[in-house]
Amino acid sequence: MMRKVVSLLAVALIGAVLIVALAKMPEFGGGTAFASLFLFLLGLYVMLTDSNLIKKVIGLNIMDTGIFLFFIALGYRSSTRGAAYMPSPLIFGGLAAVVSFTAIGLAMIVRLYKYYGTIDAEEIMRKRGEDE
């Protein structure tokens, strides 16, 4: 319960800072920026609070697609205004990194399940405490 409140406060603080930063950007407004900000904050909140490990991995994926949506929308905006900003190679690198991270994380989750018999983070912590 305490952890949920603290996580919600941290996410709200990060969201407020990012909204102020978005409002100060001269070229960029509109729904896409705020939708990507919402997706980022939602994924971050799930990664912090949900105790199911597979839900944490899904939250990571939602978070990074939100960030990439922001990058691509920024490049689209600036390209229609004559600037040459092409974030495609950056997005490729990020996608490959996130897919490999997901694969390694899921392999770790399967090993944890074989050892502890559960994929719930709280329960794994409790069982570790009982062992020692």
Partner 1 sequence: MTATLNILLLLFLVVSAIIAVRCRDLLSSVIVFAAYSLVMAVLWQLQGAPYPAVALAIFGAGATPLLLLAAIRKTGGQE
Q: Which residue lies nearer to partner 1 by CB, 89 or 132?
A: 89
Task: Return the DSSP state at 82.
Answer: T
Q: What share of the chain is helix, strand, coil (3-state, %, to 5)?
A: 85, 0, 15
Listed ranges 2-10, 19-27, 59-67, 124-132: which one lies at the site for partner 1 (CB under 8 A): 59-67
The tokens describing 100, both together, are 């490999």
87 forms part of the interface with partner 1 (CB under 8 A): yes
Radius of gyration for the chain, computed over Cα atoms and rounded to the nearest angstrom: 18
Instruction: For residue 44, count other CB atoms closer than 10 A to its CB.
Output: 20
72 forms part of the interface with partner 1 (CB under 8 A): yes
Binding positions for partner 1, 21-50, rule CB under 8 A:
31-32, 35, 38-39, 42-43, 46, 50
Task: Return the DSSP state at 70.
Answer: H
Question: Distance between CA 108 and CA 47 in Å, rounded?
Answer: 16
103 forms part of the interface with partner 1 (CB under 8 A): yes
Interface contacts to partner 1, rule CB under 8 A: 31-32, 35, 38-39, 42-43, 46, 50, 52, 54-55, 57-59, 61-62, 65, 68-69, 72-73, 75-76, 79, 87-88, 91-92, 95-96, 98-99, 102-103, 106, 109-110, 113, 118-120, 123
